Structure 1
Amino acid sequence: MGRHLPHITATPVMPAIPATTPAHRVRRANTRGQLQSWPIQKVITMNNVVHGANALGEFFLLSLDKDTYSREAIMKTCYAFTDDYYIHVVKVVDNTTGICFYSKKDDNSEQNINAGVRLFLQALNENQMRQIIHQETATLHEEIIKKAFAPAVSLIENESQNDSLTILTSAV
C-alpha cells in the first residue's frame, strides 16, 4: 500500500527582484509549486534617469509611468523630498510624468543621484501602497467612524430637538 503524504499548499508571492534582473527572467511559484512567469509589464531600472542642465541649474530627471503610480502618490512623494531638492514636475509624453530634481546641496554626483532616486522610488511605492490600502478599506473606515461617534450624534440630535438655539454650544 502507498503511503500518503500530507497535503501542502503554497501561496504564490512576488520574489524580491534585483534591479539587474531582466523582466523575462522574473518567475514565481503557482499554488502547486511550479514556476511560472510573473506578469510584469515594466521593470523600473536606473535607465529612466537623465542627468542634465538648464537655466535653473543641473538636474536629474526621473520618468514615471502614470499607469503604475497615481498622481496623488507622485505629488506626496515629491513633497517629502522638498527638504533636499527643488522639484519640478513635467509631462514628458502622454502617459509619462517627469520629476526634475535640483539638488539644494550642489552635489549632483552619480552616487548622490542614484541614492536620491532609490529613496524616491521607495517612498513612492510606500505612498502608492498607502493609497491602495486606503481605497480598499475606505468603507470600513467610514463605518468605524460612524459607530465611534454614534452616541455623540444622538446626543446632538436630541439636544437640537429640545432647543435649536443651544445646539451650537452643546456641540462644542
Structure 2
Amino acid sequence: MGMNGGIVKTISELISIIDTDHANIIIDSSLYDIEAINSACYAFTNKYYIIVTPMDGTSVTVIFELKNKVSQRNISEDIKEFVNTVIDHQVRLQLDRTNGKIRDLIVKHAFLPLDLKKEIESL
C-alpha cells in the first residue's frame, strides 16, 4: 500500500521529483535495515548529495540532490537503481546473518593448529 493508503502500482509513484536536480523516496525501514539503506546511499554519493531522515517509526526519506547540475542525469531512473541497490544490500545482510556463523566456523577450523585438529578428531 502507498503512503496514502492506496495501492502502489509503480516504483515511480514512490518517488517525489522536486525538479531535474532534486528528488526523494520514502523507504520502509521495517522492511530494510538502515545499514542496507546507508550502504546503498554510499554507492550513489559520486553522483548525488544524499541525506537520510527519519519520517516516523517505520520509514525514512532519502533525499537526493544532483552534484553536477549540467549532467543531464535521469534522477528518477537513478533512484530506481538505488532501490535495487538497497535490496541487494539487504539480501547480503540477511545472507551474512544466516551464513555468518558457518563462515566463522570454517575460518576458525582452517586456522586451528594441526595438533589440536588431531586431538579434536580423536575425541
TM-score, normalized by the shorter chain, greater than 0.5: yes
1:77 is paired with a residue of what secondary structure?
helix
Q: Distance in 2 between matches of 1:44 and 1:149?
A: 50
Q: CA deviation at 1:118?
A: 1.5
Structure 1 residue aligned with 2:98? 136
Alignment partner, residue 125 of structure 1: 87
Gaps of 5+ in 1: 1-22, 24-41, 155-172
C-alpha RMSD of the superposition: 2.5
Corresponding residue for residue 18 of structure 2: 52
Give the TM-score taking structure 2 as reference length: 0.77
- Is the 1:59–1:108 Cα contact (8 Å) retained in structure 2? no
Contiguous gaps of at least 5 residues in structure 2: 1-6, 117-123
Give the number of the structure whose residues are more often helix, by fraction.
Answer: 2
* Structure-2 residue corresponding to 1:96: 59
Alpha-carbon spacing, 1:52–1:83, altered in 2? closer, same or farther (3 Å): same
**Who is 1:84 aligned against?**
47
Query: 1:5-154 to 2 correspondence within 5 Å?
Result: 45-52=11-18, 58-106=21-69, 112-151=74-113
Aligned length: 109
1:17-76 deviations in Å (ceiling 9; x for gaps) = xxxxxx7xxxxxxxxxxxxxxxxxx776211111227xxxx5201100011110110011
- After superposing on structure 2, the runs of 4+ consecutive aligned residues of structure 1 that deviate more than 6 Å are none
Provide closer, same or farther for how the CA distance between residues 107 and 44 of structure 1 changes in structure 2, counting only shifts above 3 A.
Answer: farther
> How far, CA to CA, are the matches of 1:91 and 1:43 in structure 2?
24
